[in-house]
Amino acid sequence: EVQLVESGGGLVKPGGSLRLSCAVSGFTFSSYSMNWVRQAPGKGLEWISFISSSGKYIFYADSVKGRFTISRDNAKNSLYLQMNSLRAEDTAVYFCASPTITMIQGVTDYWGQGTLVTVSS
């Protein structure tokens, strides 16, 4: 069974930092790129970052560029998002998500359950 489990969310003051983690099991993590997507309360989905399978290629949304850093540890089957200089507008549920993967049962992608980050004084 594929599982993506995020952790590390919580309440942080403006200007503060948090590190999110996403523990992956059930597929060969090192073979696939990964993404972080967030959703502000009552709002739509916003893609924020991509990392290739090796970590060589990384992309960010303009809204987080220079403040957030995506990384991965393929030996630990884990994805990370270091978030610095947090702002109120970063308040959201953060999801880690796989690309579409072809498994025996078919093609789909996988998402974690999300972790809530609240930026407030």
Partner 1 sequence: EIVLTQSPGTLSLSPGERATLSCRASQGVSSSYLGWYQQKPGQAPRLLIYGASSRATGVPDRFSGSGSGTYFTLTISRLEPEDFAVYYCHQYGTSPRTFGQGTKVEIK
| Interaction of residue 105 with partner 1, rule CB under 8 A | yes
> Could you give the CA distance from residue 77 to residue 46 in angstroms, rounded to a whole number?
24
| Interaction of residue 112 with partner 1, rule CB under 8 A | yes
Stretch that binds partner 1, among 9-17, 72-80, 84-92, 107-115 (CB under 8 A): 107-115
Q: Give the list of residues 6+ apart from residue 12 with CB closer than 8 angstroms, or none.
A: 18, 86, 117, 118, 119
> Could you give the CA distance from residue 100 to residue 102 in angstroms, rounded to a whole number?
7
| Interaction of residue 31 with partner 1, rule CB under 8 A | no
| Interaction of residue 99 with partner 1, rule CB under 8 A | yes
CB atoms < 10 A from the CB of 104, how many? 4
| Interaction of residue 89 with partner 1, rule CB under 8 A | no
Q: Count CA atoms within 13 Å of residue 77 on its CB side.
A: 11
Stretch that binds partner 1, among 17-25, 66-74, 83-91, 94-102 (CB under 8 A): 94-102
| Interaction of residue 11 with partner 1, rule CB under 8 A | no
**Residue 81: which of 44, 117, 113 has the closest Cα?**
117
- Residues near partner 1 (CB under 8 A) are 35, 37, 44-47, 50, 59-62, 95, 99-100, 103, 105-109, 111-114
